[in-house]
Amino acid sequence: MWCRRLSHLQSRLQDLLRGRVTCWALQQPSFKSLFPLAIHWHHTASKSLNCVWQQHEDHFELQYANTVMRFDYVWLRDHCLSASCYNSKTHQRSLDTASVDLCIQPKTIRLDETTLFFTWPDGHVTRYDLDWLVKNSYEGQKQKVIQPRILWNAEIYQQAQVPSVDFQSFLETKEGLKNFLQNFLLYGIAFVENVPPTQEHTEKLAERISLIRETIYGRMWYFTSDFSRGDTAYTKLALDRHTDTTYFQEPCGYNNYDRAVINTVPYDVVHRWYTAHRTLTIELRKPENEFWVKLKPGRVGAKLERCQVLFIDNWRVLHGRESFTGYRQLCGCYLTRDDVLNTARLLGLQA
Ligand SMILES: C[N+](C)(C)CCCC[C@H](N)C(=O)O
Ligand SMILES: O=C(O)CCC(=O)C(=O)O
Ligand SMILES: [Fe+2]
């Protein structure tokens, strides 16, 4: 006890002088470890594992799998996966995070093979697999490939020759759905071809990806230019590029037609907003940034033709239309982003 106390006091003194972290010799320090005070890096027994770690005053530092990671002690206690702290059936935390002492420090740290054991002052033991720590550390996450996005304009998209997915394969095969979602995540739009032109088939397609979002326009909307709703979508007028439902608390994305009166900011900020809006609009209206799609009609008179369904990520791609004459009917729905991303992740996509 005595030698530990001395080493501890001395290390604190050195610590104050150097303003550096200290590393306690976790086993009973031998005399040689007291003078001069060395910063100990703990090495794994087997060099092949190549894991080095250090217990700092306010965090735990781990070097493993070519990653230097730093963990807060409250974080290490809070993410404990032991039976009393974590419900492995529901993957939920049972530990009350607010009960963790914000100044908590582990009494001992031990590495056994590829598992780190942290023993806390109350005797509770938290174990972490080294690979779990790499995967769930801030530093490990930063290395992860984020979902690649391909920024495009009309020319880039046309040249990419992105394949549409056939209706049957989309509905009946995992590959079909996965290829579709991969394109959707990469480009923000994706097509399904060969779809029977009915609301039921469109609905089936949508439900293959996610829950359909019920809104004031209904679950599946089937609309035409009958002005059945007080909105220019229900007319023959052209609609400049926009996204829908910007007036919802959880909108599909932003839209100039539906913008309410700007009355939440003072006049000088308003002018800055208009200047920024103009810059964005000029960019959006550049012809090279427009990609026109002539939607194949599914029904002409009594004749039914298989048609295509277009999915748009409203956070990345705006939509609009030209004005038109004659009779035109459009069927569609809104999907919830969380569910679309969840389906993509379940298929192993980075979303
Ligand atoms: C017809 N349909 C339901 C597709 C859209 C209606 C959208 C109306 C509104 N202008 C908006 O952009 O949110
Ligand atoms: O009629 C269309 O093609 C699109 C209409 C539209 O943008 C909308 O309903 O929000
Ligand atoms: Fe719209």
What is the distance between the terminal CA atoms of the chain, rounded to a whole angstrom? 53
Residues 6+ apart with CB under 8 A from 194: 166, 167, 168, 306, 308
- Average of pLDDT values for 121-137? 96
pLDDT score of 118 more than 50 = yes
Question: Measured from the CB, is residue 257 less than 6 Å from ligand 1?
Answer: yes
Residues 6+ apart with CB under 8 A from 341: 351
- Taking the CA atoms of residue 83, residue 85, residue 89 and residue 90 in that order, the dihedral angle to the nearest 10 degrees is 180
Ranked by mean pLDDT, the top range of 134-148, 193-207, 245-259 is 193-207
Answer whether 229's CB lies under 8 Å from 244's CB.
no
CA-nearest residue for atom 12, ligand 1, is 244
Over the stretch 287-336, which tens digit does the pLDDT of each residue have?
Answer: 999 999 988 878 777 888 999 999 999 889 999 999 999 999 999 999 98
Over the stretch 226-253, which tens digit does the pLDDT of each residue have?
Answer: 999 999 999 999 999 998 988 888 776 4
Token code pair at residue 180:
């579709």
Q: ∠ CA(231), CA(205), CA(181), 5° rounding?
A: 100
* CA-321 nearest atom, ligand 2: 3
> Which stretches of 241-290 are DSSP H helices?
267-284
Residue in the structure block whose two tokens are 């919830």: 336
Shortest-distance ligand to the CA of residue 231? 1
* CA-215 nearest atom, ligand 1: 3
* CA-320 nearest atom, ligand 2: 7
Q: How far is the CA of 345 from the centre of ligand 1 (A)?
A: 29
For 130-263, where are the E strands, in sequence order?
A: 165-166, 189-195, 212-213, 220-224, 239-242
> Within 10 Å of residue 181's Cβ, how many Cβ atoms?
24
- Ligand 2-lining residues (CB < 6 angstroms): 233, 239, 244, 319, 321, 330
What values do phi and psi take at 88, rounded to 5? -70, -15
* CA-242 nearest atom, ligand 2: 7
CA-nearest residue for atom 7, ligand 1, is 244
Q: What is the ipTM of this complex?
A: 0.96
Answer whether 243's CB lies under 8 Å from 254's CB.
yes
Question: Measured from the CB, is residue 217 less than 6 Å from ligand 1?
Answer: yes
Question: Measured from the CB, is residue 341 less than 6 Å from ligand 1?
Answer: no
Q: Is 332 exposed, middle or buried (0-12, 13-18, 19+ CB in 10 A)?
A: buried
Q: Which residues have a beta carbon within 5 Å of ligand 3, which is an ion? A: 244
Per-residue pLDDT at 46: 52
* CA-243 nearest atom, ligand 1: 12
Q: Is 9 exposed, middle or buried (0-12, 13-18, 19+ CB in 10 A)?
A: exposed
CA-nearest residue for atom 11, ligand 1, is 244
CA-nearest residue for atom 6, ligand 2, is 233
Per-residue pLDDT at 29: 38
Per-residue pLDDT at 24: 33
pLDDT score of 71 more than 90 = yes
Q: ∠ CA(235), CA(237), CA(238), 5° rounding?
A: 135
Helix (H) or strand (E) holding 158: helix 154-160
Per-residue pLDDT at 81: 95
Domains of the chain, earliest start first: 1-40 (no CATH), 41-143 (3.30.2020.30), 154-243+290-346 (3.60.130.10)
Per-residue pLDDT at 232: 94
With cut-offs at 50, 70 and 90, classify the pLDDT of residue 257: low
Q: Is 74 exposed, middle or buried (0-12, 13-18, 19+ CB in 10 A)?
A: middle
Over the stretch 169-205, which tens digit does the pLDDT of each residue have?
Answer: 999 999 999 999 999 999 999 999 999 999 999 999 9
Q: ∠ CA(109), CA(111), CA(117), 5° rounding?
A: 50
- Average of pLDDT values for 5-13? 42
Question: Measured from the CB, is residue 255 less than 6 Å from ligand 1?
Answer: yes
- Alpha carbon distance 348, 343 (integer Å): 9
Token code pair at residue 11:
């290390």
Strands 303-304 and 165-166: unpaired
Query: Which of 14-18, 66-70, 274-278 has the lowest average pLDDT?
Result: 14-18
Helix (H) or strand (E) holding 300: strand 299-300
What integer best gives the mean pLDDT of the chain?
Answer: 85
Q: How far is the CA of 244 from the centre of ligand 1 (A)?
A: 5
CA-nearest residue for atom 6, ligand 1, is 233
Query: Which of 129-143, 200-214, 260-274 has the lowest average pLDDT?
Result: 260-274
Per-residue pLDDT at 17: 40
What values do phi and psi take at 150, rounded to 5? -100, 110
Question: Measured from the CB, is residue 244 less than 6 Å from ligand 1?
Answer: yes
- Average of pLDDT values for 55-79? 94
Per-residue pLDDT at 48: 60
Shortest-distance ligand to the CA of residue 246? 1
* CA-244 nearest atom, ligand 2: 10
Per-residue pLDDT at 266: 83
- Taking the CA atoms of residue 212, residue 214, residue 218 and residue 223 in that order, the dihedral angle to the nearest 10 degrees is -50
Q: How far is the CA of 57 from the centre of ligand 1 (A)?
A: 57
Q: Which of 240, 234, 246 has the alpha carbon at shortest distance from 290?
A: 240
